[in-house]
Structure 1
Amino acid sequence: MLLSRHRARAGHQAPLRTSIADIGIVAGTVPWIWMILTPSDGPAGVGLVPFADLADLAHVPWEVASVQVGGNLLVFAALGALLPVRSRAMSCPARVAAVAAAFSVLVEVLQYVLRLGRFSSVDDVLLNTAGAVIFALVTRRWWADRIPAGTVPR
């Protein structure tokens, strides 16, 4: 409420909606990032070949593969779902993908540079980005109607 009130006083359009979106993005993303950047005893390394790590998941139990893929799809789900609500400029799935990919690359680089005992992979970036775009498309009916016809960027 304080953030919304501050924005209203500053003359922002839709201060409550953007404040709720901002809080949702942070609350829905920070726990995942915290988990990803927590040190682990697992194998460290870098995977730069697209889809190689995903192909390797075909040889592990289904439960392990589904947790790996599902978790990566959910990392930036809140960002993808709420970024178009927060900003009219982000009402294009390609822009949501660009933002999610940039943050995902940052997270993977941090995992490597901080030597957290985690495997940094281009496949994680692809899945994180795909998850953000999927959730942006799932929530499209919530934000698309607030944008005048003909002004949605493609």
Structure 2
Amino acid sequence: MLLAWDLWGHVVIATLLTIPAGWGVAHLLTRWRERSNHPEPARTAYADVFIVIGTAPWLWMILTPGDPSAPDRAVGLVPFHDLAQVVTGPAATAFVQVGGNLLVFAALGALLPLRSQKLARLKIVAAIAAAGSLTVELLQYGLELHRVSSVDDILLNTTGAVLAAVMTQRWWAG
């Protein structure tokens, strides 16, 4: 876990520092949307800002170059193959890898349905999260980041978004 902090502690700190600024940006965006007669200006402004704040750090981590001694590109196209290797390895690695992948689009999944009633369906959340995750995996591959582009990451990212959406379902209509 200490290695994880050494690698990503700066991302955590930067994220925590953006939260107060996010409240201010969301407040200003709400006022601007009120003047534009936007429907539900506060709800959409706060959802928009915190989708970005909750997703950007994960994307920062995913798109950071990996171990330079690893191959430029690696691809895992067999579902659950890479995941099986991770979960049968060290518990700390499995926790970080699986937990991290579940959290990548969790903010999107939780807040997208709150942002718009048109997006308040699990199938839509899953489709948007899967498209975003596929885009990230293609970027990892195309940018030669010494990371594995895996279908399992797409499955976990999408699952995390859907689980987060399920957890906020009772607030969708409110």
TM-score by length of 2: 0.80
The one of 78, 97, 108 aligned to 1:49 = 78
What amino acid sits opposite 1:38 in the alignment?
T
Structure 2 residue runs without a partner (length 5+): 1-26
Off by >2 Å, runs of 4+ in structure 1: none
Please name the residue that 2:167 is paired with.
Answer: 138
Alignment partner, residue 44 of structure 2 = 18
The answer as to 2:29 corresponding to 1:3 is yes
Structure-1 residue corresponding to 2:115: 86
Q: Does the alignment pair 1:126 with 2:123? A: no
Aligned to 1:97: 126
Identity of aligned residues (%): 60
Q: Distance in 1 between matches of 2:137 and 2:152?
A: 10
Q: Secondary structure at the match of 2:149?
A: strand
Aligned partner letter, 1:123 = D
Q: Deviations over 1:58-85 (max 9, x none)?
A: 4311111111100000000000000001
- What is the SS of the residue equivalent to 1:45? strand
Q: CA deviation at 1:6?
A: 1.4
Change in CA separation of 1:27 and 1:58 when aligned onto 2, cut-off 3 Å: closer
Aligned residues: 145
User: Matches of 1:58 and 1:84 in 2, distance apart?
Assistant: 31
Q: Give the Å deviation of 1:57.
A: 2.0
| Residue 40 (str. 1) matches residue 54 (str. 2) | no
Gaps of 5+ in 1: 147-154
Name the CA distance, whole Å, in 1 between partners of 2:83 and 2:90.
Answer: 13
Structure with bigger RCO (C-alpha 8 Å, 6+ apart): 1
Give the TM-score of the pair, scaled to structure 1.
0.90
SS of the equivalent of 2:75 reads strand
